[in-house]
Amino acid sequence: MAKVIVIDPGHGGLDPGAVGNGLQEKDVTLAIAQRASYFLRQYGADVRLTRAGDRTFSTDKHADLNARAEFANNAQAAYFVSIHINAGGGSGFESYVMTGMADEEAGRRQNIMHREVAEAFEKAGLPDRGKKTANFAVLRLTNMPAILLECGFIDRDEDATLLRNRTFIDSIAEAIARGAAKAMGIFSSPLVDNPSPNQPQVISKYYKDITPGMEWAAASVDKLFERGIMRGDGQGNFRPFDKMTRLEAAVALNHAIEYVLKQLGR
């Protein structure tokens, strides 16, 4: 049975997280998490996202953080990776494990994960701010080894320019996937760049069930994802042949309206 890894895109819904340079933390963390989950599944991991769209478990911050940890605990996850974007002065990448856990299994995995992600930041010219510890709720309340990643500073021009660059987002997502796979001991198989003839070729940047024969729609599906209008199931599937419920239609239409209004500056 594949090991369950929970990826937690920080913030969401009415909680934008840090804001700066036209970016919102909740959007960037979700983009990184979706791509990291795509890469990590290629190592054979069972990846679950605490959120697959612009939502939270609760509008109450305390309840939301508790629910994210509970989600991972209920999934009996083997690893919990929370993704955030920093603010408040500074630049670069830093990682956190629970206070007192630096010499435990969480600390061992932090060493591996931090090395992979820090290298991706350094290649882009951003500094490694180091491995740290903190008493964050999602680190304290999860039953499995957990890590929180602060991936750049949204209020610094140089960091923000990279955070809106798809190639940079992919490099960070790949590093997170590689770090998690190494930390979990499932890195023996490389990323599947050339699937075997028995495996459907994936033609979407985000969904494994968008396959040959769907080329006419693949770019539109990816654009809807990038604009936050339609999301998949959080497990790397778009479900292209499923019927849309009235609830799902309402959410998609609302996201589309919000996107248009945002472009108009309203």
* Model pLDDT for residues 107-143, shown as the tens digit of each residue: 999 999 999 999 999 999 999 999 999 999 999 999 9
240 alpha-carbon distance from chain centroid: 22
Neighbours of 166 (CB within 10 A): 11
Long-range CB contacts (< 8 A, 24+ apart) of 136-139? 136/82, 136/96, 136/98, 137/62, 137/65, 137/66, 137/69, 138/8, 138/65, 138/68, 138/69, 138/80, 138/82, 139/82, 139/96, 139/97, 139/98, 139/101, 139/106
- Residue 3 is given by DSSP the state P
Pick from 193, 182, 149: nearest CA to 7: 149
Q: What are 35-44's pLDDT values in tens digits? A: 999 899 889 8
**Residue of higher predicted confidence among 98 and 256:** 98
193 pLDDT tier (thresholds 50, 70, 90) = very low
Identify the CA nearest to 9 among candidates 25, 33, 37: 33
Active-site hit among 25, 94, 116, 150: 150
Give the model's confidence band at 263: pLDDT under 50 very low, under 70 low, under 90 confident, else very high: confident
For domain 4-184, the CATH class is: alpha beta
Q: Where are the domains of the chain?
A: 4-184, 215-263
- pTM (2 d.p.): 0.75
Q: How many CB atoms lie within 10 A of CB 45?
A: 22
Q: Active site includes 158?
A: no
Among the listed ranges 195-199, 212-216, 233-237, which one has the minimum average pLDDT value?
195-199
Q: Is the pLDDT of residue 173 over 60?
A: yes
Average pLDDT over residues 4-28: 95
Q: Minimal CA–CA distance to 9: which of 46, 42, 43, 47?
A: 47
Q: Rounded to whole angstroms, how far apart are CA atoms 80 and 175?
A: 15
Given a cut of 60, whether residue 189 has pLDDT beyond it is no
